[in-house]
């Protein structure tokens, strides 16, 4: 999914073959359209694939209502971007410039064609992914966030959008563009805000409201039964999603924060096979998400499974945190782990405004010209320290033990020790957090004495608490809450409850590595397929 060209025209230099167009004509409809006609309204559900047979079409800039980019779509080109695969809402609108013939193919029919014609799928997905990449890189988005420097809520939305590959632009309250936009929307120019398009203000904004506006939370048809429900969107869950779709299983992935899980926050993974120069965890898992959507797997974000029951007919019913229910014949638990919250006074008040559990570009911006703290001794902490050293004046890595040899990869530890902007403090932990509205200083407890560090950010990456509260009483868990699998001769990923499987970091005894999680997620599908296709005994 490399970055493609800089406008809509050059991003579709590889035209669809005549045979592809003929196949689309069999299931589509040709529309005759006039200049000024709207082909797709920004923010509306994407229900069709639009291919230009004749004439000219332009994308609509969501911020101005004028033309987006420098070029238009000509015959043999098509409109759309990656939201088409998931059935989300349109990031851009489209408008006819000259008399045009547009071949419109219903979304489900187009996805079916793409599943049957790999070459067609490759062309469409490459173009769509390139367009999303361009929007991310240029900040030309329909979502504007104002005042992240002042608002914890706006920061949370920025983090959510960034981790879920949602294009957005940020404006500070002092930016004249923010003032002009506030005047257009008739809102207070001195207060943070979230604006969709040119003038749609999102009241009391939250990540779930943004997801619903963009169609990411996914409406579930009442009574629909999936072959498999995958709970968790980290490497294991996404790998399972890819293989489930490839094997013809109808699958739904439910993720409560961002596709990618903890791995998605890693700035650089260097020991994953096939990427000798490294790849960010977010990029790696996003490629998998697109691949899974290509095979028909659906994703719902941010949605949390609050409970799971087995119905009398043998299917499972998952109750989501908003009360909605999802039915499936099998369940894969891939919820991974979360970093433990340290027992520190005022920790909760400073979360999101100085205390963080992920180190991405969003958090790094608030660390410039400041010292930062990283707590933890695993690879995630080491990767975070290396990344943050490019932004902060100095990075202090706090380790409770006397060594990192058993918890961190040798190549990573060696780099930390050689970096002059990183100091590893052994036998050290945070004693006190200081600051009113944001973190200002941290008191460290060391083997010798206490010391203060003026730090605007502390990254907590210690401990591994499994996300299994919703499973208690349904499957066997070990003393730490990890899911026990493979007991009594069952397959390595089968839990104590038939039809429920567990993969990745949440599984007791698993190897906490991205590659192993991907492997488990792919291998488990053969057993899931067997379970789903075995007749139920009355």
- Map out the domains of the chain as residue ranges: 10-138, 143-214, 225-338+465-532, 347-460
Right CATH for 143-214 from 3.40.30, 1.10.287, 3.90.75, 3.30.70:
3.40.30
Q: What is the pLDDT of residues 254-272, one digit of tens each?
A: 999 899 988 888 888 888 8
Q: What is the pLDDT of residues 165-198, one digit of tens each?
A: 999 999 999 999 999 999 999 999 999 999 999 9
**Is 93 strand, coil or helix?**
strand
445 Ramachandran zone, left/alpha/beta (phi>0; psi -120 to 50): beta
Beta-carbon contacts of 387 under 8 Å, excluding residues fewer than 6 positions away, are 267, 268, 359, 364
CATH architecture of 347-460: 3-Layer(bba) Sandwich (3.50)
DSSP letters, 207-257, are: HHHHHHHHT-S-PPPTT-EEEEEEE--SHHHHHHHHHHHHTT--EEEE-SS
Nearest CA among 367, 374, 400 for reference residue 461: 374
Q: Say what the pLDDT of residue 495 is.
A: 96
**Is 48 strand, coil or helix?**
strand
Residue 6 pLDDT class (50, 70, 90 cuts): very low
Q: Say what the pLDDT of residue 217 is.
A: 79
- Average predicted confidence (pLDDT) for the chain: 91
Average pLDDT score over residue span 496-503:
96
The CATH fold assigned to 225-338+465-532 is: FAD/NAD(P)-binding domain (3.50.50)
Which run of H or E residues covers position 453?
strand 450-453
Tell me which CATH code domain 10-138 carries.
2.60.120.10
What is the spatial order of strands in the sheet that 371-375 belongs to? 355-356, 455-460, 371-375, 394-399, 422-426
Per-residue pLDDT at 7 exceeds 70: no
Percent of the chain clearing pLDDT 90 (strictly above): 78
Nearest CA among 188, 191, 186 for reference residue 151: 191
Please report the sign of the dihedral spanned by the C-alpha atoms of residue 23, residue 24, residue 27, residue 32. negative
Q: Say what the pLDDT of residue 536 is.
A: 66
Question: CATH topology of 143-214 equal to that of 225-338+465-532?
Answer: no
């Amino acid at each position: 999914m490399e970055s493609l060209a800089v406008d809509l025209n050059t991003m579709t230099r590889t035209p669809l073959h005549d045979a592809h167009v003929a196949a689309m004509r069999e299931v589509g409809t040709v529309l005759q359209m006039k200049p000024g006609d709207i082909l797709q309204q920004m923010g509306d559900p994407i229900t069709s694939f639009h291919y230009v047979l004749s004439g000219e079409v332009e994308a609509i800039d969501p911020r101005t209502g004028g033309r987006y980019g420098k070029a238009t779509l000509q015959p043999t080109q098509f409109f759309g971007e990656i939201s088409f695969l998931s059935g989300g809402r349109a990031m851009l609108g489209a408008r006819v410039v000259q008399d045009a013939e547009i071949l419109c193919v219903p979304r489900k029919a187009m996805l079916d064609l793409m599943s049957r014609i790999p070459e067609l799928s490759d062309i469409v997905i490459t173009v769509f992914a390139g367009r999303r990449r361009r929007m991310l890189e240029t900040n030309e988005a329909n979502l504007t966030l104002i005042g992240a420097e002042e608002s914890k809520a706006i920061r949370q939305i920025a983090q959510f959008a960034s981790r879920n590959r949602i294009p957005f632009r940020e404006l500070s309250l002092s930016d004249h563009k923010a003032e002009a936009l506030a005047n257009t929307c008739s809102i207070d120019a001195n207060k943070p805000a979230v604006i969709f398009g040119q003038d749609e203000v999102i009241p009391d904004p939250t990540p779930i409201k943004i997801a619903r506006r963009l169609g990411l939370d996914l409406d579930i048809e009442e009574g629909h039964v999936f072959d498999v429900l995958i709970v968790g969107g980290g490497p294991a869950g996404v790998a399972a999603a890819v293989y489930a779709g490839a094997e013809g299983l109808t699958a739904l992935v439910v993720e409560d924060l961002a596709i990618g899980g903890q791995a998605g926050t890693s700035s650089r993974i260097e020991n994953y096979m096939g990427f000798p120069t490294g790849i960010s965890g977010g990029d790696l898992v996003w490629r998998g998400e697109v691949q899974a959507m290509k095979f028909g797997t659906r994703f719902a974000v941010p949605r949390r499974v609050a409970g799971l029951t087995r119905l009398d007919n043998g299917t499972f019913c998952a109750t989501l945190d908003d009360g909605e229910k999802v039915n499936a014949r099998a369940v894969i638990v891939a919820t991974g782990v979360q970093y433990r919250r340290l027992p520190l006074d005022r920790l909760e008040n400073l979360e999101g405004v100085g205390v963080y559990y992920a180190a991405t570009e969003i958090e790094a911006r608030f660390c410039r010209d400041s010292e930062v703290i990283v707590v933890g001794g695993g690879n995630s902490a080491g990767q975070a320290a290396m990344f943050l050293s490019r932004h902060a004046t100095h990075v202090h890595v706090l380790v409770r033990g006397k060594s990192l040899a058993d918890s961190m990869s040798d190549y990573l530890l060696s780099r930390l020790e050689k970096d002059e902007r990183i100091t590893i403090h052994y036998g050290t932990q945070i004693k006190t957090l200081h600051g009113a509205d944001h973190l200002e200083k941290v008191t460290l407890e060391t083997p010798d004495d206490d010391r203060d560090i003026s730090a605007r950010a502390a990254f907590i990456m210690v401990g591994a608490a499994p996300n299994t509260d919703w499973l208690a009483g349904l499957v066997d868990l070990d003393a730490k809450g990890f899911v026990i699998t493979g007991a009594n001769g069952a397959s390595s990923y089968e839990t104590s409850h038939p039809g429920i499987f567990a993969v990745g970091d949440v599984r007791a005894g698993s190897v906490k590595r991205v590659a192993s999680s991907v492997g488990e997620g792919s291998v488990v599908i053969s057993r899931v397929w067997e379970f789903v296709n075995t007749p139920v005994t009355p």
